[in-house]
Amino acid sequence: MIGPFLPLFPYVPDGRGTRPLEIDLAFKPNEPHAFAPWTASVQTAARDVVRVSHVRANIRVGQVVKTVTIERDDNGPRTLPAGQVNRFFLSFEKHLAPEQQFSLTLHLTKRDGADVQLPTIIFRQGKVSFLAAVP
């Protein structure tokens, strides 16, 4: 089980803006997993696939948490330690209007390399999307 999978909030500063979509993503797994943030994508209702353009992550250095940029050429999976909140900030290649419905696709693997099937997460205007736990 991975859980709880904390709320996901797409950030759209205003409906008239052109800033790219940003999603604040957090995991708190019960056992170690790996997440490849550069493989995440969103798909619009019109079936346009929008890829990740920028990734930041919180890392723990002793008791201090720092936010660092993960470079595109450093595209390997990141270990998600068990029992800790693992937070990522994903920016996507383009702006999506707040009223536009879209879905998020993520890829996780177990310690043994097996894929974890995550359900598609659908975002709709005025709704907070989250998964409490996934198999």
Spans of all domains in the chain: 2-126
CA–CA gap between residue 134 and residue 41 (Å, rounded):
19
Nearest CA-CA partner of 86 in 3, 21, 20: 3
Predicted pLDDT of residue 83: 86
C-alpha radius of gyration, the chain, whole number: 15
CA–CA gap between residue 74 and residue 68 (Å, rounded):
12
Structure-token pair, residue 38: 């550069």
Predicted pLDDT of residue 106: 87
Predicted pLDDT of residue 52: 95
CATH topology for the 2-126 domain = Immunoglobulin-like (2.60.40)
Per-residue pLDDT of the chain (135 residues; tens, 9 = 90+): 344 455 555 555 554 567 888 888 888 888 899 999 999 999 998 999 999 999 999 988 888 889 999 999 998 899 998 888 889 999 999 988 878 888 988 888 988 889 987 878 888 776 655 555 544
